[in-house]
Chain A
Amino acid sequence: MAKRSYTQKEHELLSKASRLFNRAAFIGVLIGLSLAMRWAPVSWFKKPELADRPVLDAMAADTLVIDGIHVSSGLIADDRFNIIKANCMACHSGKLISQNRATREGWKEMITWMQKTQGLWDLGENEVPILDYLSEHYAPQVAGRRSALKNIEWYELEQ
């Protein structure tokens, strides 16, 4: 179909309408902005204050390592920790790792289970360092049928 060409008059009318529309839109945006400035919470326009610290601290804590322990996850922060963080902690907390103990075979089974049922990806060349890390740091400890009570915090009981 051939393209219809506008007459000179139509063209002028169209461009006039378009200029008017643009101007109205611009004024609208200005009004909107000034209302926003008036009613928006002050906090939109300033940096987080000291009272926001819990969140900032929490974010900083993500990288905080004390005595070789990554504080927020409780995991041992050796040179393989970043691989663990990238592959494991996208889905679940590091605490799920640090509270568990297993042999290399046991950890491998958990990884296979996560791959089969939980959507974990193929770990590729990272699998070996991940299994090294887990089986070295989080191996089973020898325990009997019942351990002694540990970490007792003694206190004077008022009766």
Chain B
Amino acid sequence: MRRKLDVTEGEFTLLRNRFGRLIAGTAASAMLFAVAACGGDDTAAAPTSAAPASSSAPAAASAKVGLAYDIGGRGDQSFNDSAAAGLDKAKAELGVTVEELEAANGETDAQKEDRLRLLATGGFNPVIAVGFAYSAAITKVAKEFPDIKFAIVDDAAEGANISNLVFAEEQGSFLVGVAAALKSTKGNVGFVGGVDVPLIHKFEAGFEAGAKAVKPDITVQKKYLTQPPDFSGFGDPAKGKTAAEGMFDGGADVVYQAAGGSGAGVFEAAKAAGGLAIGVDSDQAKTADPTVADVIITSMLKKVDVAVFDFIKNFTAGTVKAGITTYDLKAGGVDYSVTGGKIDDIKAQIDDYKNKVISGEITVPTGA
């Protein structure tokens, strides 16, 4: 091992010089690019690299958005994917350029800070962090870069340049709780949570309150798949299936899952047991495996995509506000889906509750 480091160190200066030149080269071309972009109206003739930004998009389109995902990253069919959808929309509609970085399992705050700092020093503004795990990291890094706008999803980390995109998950869960109770013939429903953390407690509390609002004596079975720091409960369909099977065997006929990727197993169990299921985060009757999509009567929509898109849009318009923006029922940040028409018969009743929550007549517990 000693030998190895010696070699690396010996060649290090040489490498750095070569890399330094490379950076200098990049910087030079970037400046050329900037000059070309500022150059004026007739940029059509501008050299090569200026092409993508200049023509179609508005002036703010030069915004470079940096986004750091939580564990799982793009492709988790859940929380991160929802953020990715908002980013994609911003890319398509606002013409911003984006950079996405992923998180690794078991990393320290220092590595999360590194990630945000890389984006900030790389010229990305705004920088968006997905998930409460970035709380400590974003508080620290935002202080170092006062001129850059930061946003964090699901967390209230404070800072003069941090926007907090938080959701009233309990309100959306309340509505699907109402739907579950109305659809249940046995008076017995289930809740499958991915990991036993405060965030998922909000889903549970809202769901139970919704079900009990309709039928005060209804049985609500609850199960969390894993305990922190084991976060596999958000990505293990087998665990979700076992838990849901237990609930259907125990007399439940509708099961709500707030378990990320494990939810696929809940749907399978519902299909096998002839029961019904409720999806979470996105409209899962559309996104789930088509063979099980017909058991999904509705989904609790948590519109991380809307929050991310709004934030980027506000940034390009120069109207970003620091502090907490709560995406609740009133703001349309959470909702329930009607894809498949399975709850058309009870939609009026659900909307009745929805209006009561919006007007403040019903206060949904958060489980805190």
Verify that A and B bind, or say they do not.
no
B: residues with CB less than 8 A from A are: none
A: residues with CB less than 8 A from B are: none
